[in-house]
């Protein structure tokens, strides 16, 4: 697990942690290591822009993000190459699954809105491991769909800069990030690398103290 510096209450899973979505042992082990509740609020992700509010653990339904003001309630999303985005306000947190489709649909803005709707305001954000422009070769239409945030892969092809696109949707918010590319860094699951069905999770929570 990666615990981003200066951002307590967030953990980014790695492949070595396993995929806790369907493996209770993985989830329990991660929870014990983090000192958090072993039951989490989760969603069935569909590359859309819906954010659900969690007040209790369990599967909330189809969405691509979760917001919550509940203390000691871990909220989690799963990613392989998409960007895990965590937002923090004064008393509300949100997690969002942001691939190019979600970004184009407005999932990042929707997560910010979900925090605002609790009466809070987003103070900071942290982005977890995701596929970088070094590896994410795409068609020009994908770069267009995410606002022109393109790059060049290490082999000279047009690529998408998902991080740049997410940054542009969080104006005025302090953003930190874990600089790792899921495709060329074997510590992570990557659908693009080998078609795996496995995902690393991002889990966030509000501690009592
Ligand atoms: Zn890469």
Spacing, Cα 131 to ligand 1 middle (Å): 6
Spacing, Cα 65 to ligand 1 middle (Å): 25
Sign of CA dihedral 65, 83, 69, 170: negative
Between 132 and 22, residue with greater pLDDT = 132
* Torsion from C-alpha of 11, 9, 132, 45, nearest 10 degrees: 80
Spacing, Cα 136 to ligand 1 middle (Å): 7
Place of tokens 């501690």: 207
Spacing, Cα 154 to ligand 1 middle (Å): 8
Model confidence pLDDT, tens digit, residues 179-204 = 899 999 999 999 999 999 999 999 99
Residues near ion ligand 1 (CB < 5 Å) are 132, 134-135, 181, 183-184
Two tokens at 43? 């969603």
pLDDT for 27 equals 96
119 contact partners, CB below 8 Å, separation of at least 6: none
Tally the residues of the chain.
Answer: 209
Q: Identify any residues that bridge with 112 across adjacent strands, giving them in sequence order.
A: none
Spacing, Cα 101 to ligand 1 middle (Å): 19
Give residue 21's pLDDT band: very low, low, confident or very high (50, 70, 90).
confident
Query: Which CATH number is associated with domain 10-130+175-204?
Result: 3.60.140.10
Whether 209 has a pLDDT exceeding 90, the answer reads no
Model confidence pLDDT, tens digit, residues 69-114 = 999 999 999 999 999 999 999 999 999 999 999 999 999 999 999 9
Q: Distances from the Cα of 192 to the Cαs of 13, 81, 188, in angstroms? A: 18, 7, 11
Model confidence pLDDT, tens digit, residues 147-185 = 999 999 999 999 999 999 999 999 999 999 998 999 999
pLDDT for 48 equals 93
Pairwise CA distance, residues 190 & 142, whole Å: 19
Give residue 42's pLDDT band: very low, low, confident or very high (50, 70, 90).
very high
**Percentage of the chain with pLDDT > 90?**
95
168 contact partners, CB below 8 Å, separation of at least 6: 147, 149
**Percentage of the chain with pLDDT > 70?**
100
pLDDT for 22 equals 80
Q: Identify any residues that bridge with 99 across adjacent strands, giving them in sequence order.
A: none
pLDDT for 179 equals 85
Helical ranges in 75-205 per DSSP H: 100-105, 107-116, 140-145, 162-168, 191-194
Picking from 103, 52, 109, the residue whose alpha carbon sits closest to that of residue 77 is 52
Average pLDDT across the chain, whole number: 96
């Amino acid at each position: 697990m990666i615990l981003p510096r200066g951002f307590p209450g967030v953990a980014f899973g790695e492949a070595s942690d396993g995929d806790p979505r369907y493996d209770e042992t993985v989830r329990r082990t991660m929870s014990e290591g983090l000192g958090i509740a072993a039951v989490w609020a989760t969603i069935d992700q569909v590359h859309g822009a819906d954010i659900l509010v969690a007040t209790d653990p369990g599967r909330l339904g189809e969405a691509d993000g979760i917001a919550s003001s509940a203390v000691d309630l871990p909220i989690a999303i799963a990613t392989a190459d998409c960007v895990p985005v965590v937002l923090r306000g004064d008393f509300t947190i949100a997690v969002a699954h942001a691939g190019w489709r979600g970004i184009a649909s407005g999932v990042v803005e929707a997560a910010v809105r979900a925090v605002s709707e609790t009466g809070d305001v987003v103070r900071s954000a942290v982005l977890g491991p995701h596929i970088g422009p070094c590896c994410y070769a795409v068609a020009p239409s994908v770069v267009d769909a995410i606002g022109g945030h393109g790059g060049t892969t290490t082999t000279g092809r047009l690529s998408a800069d998902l991080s740049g696109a997410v940054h542009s949707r969080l104006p005025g918010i302090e953003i930190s990030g874990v600089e790792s590319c899921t495709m060329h860094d074997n510590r992570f699951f990557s659908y693009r690398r080998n078609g795996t069905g496995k995902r690393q999770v991002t889990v966030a929570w509000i501690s009592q103290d």
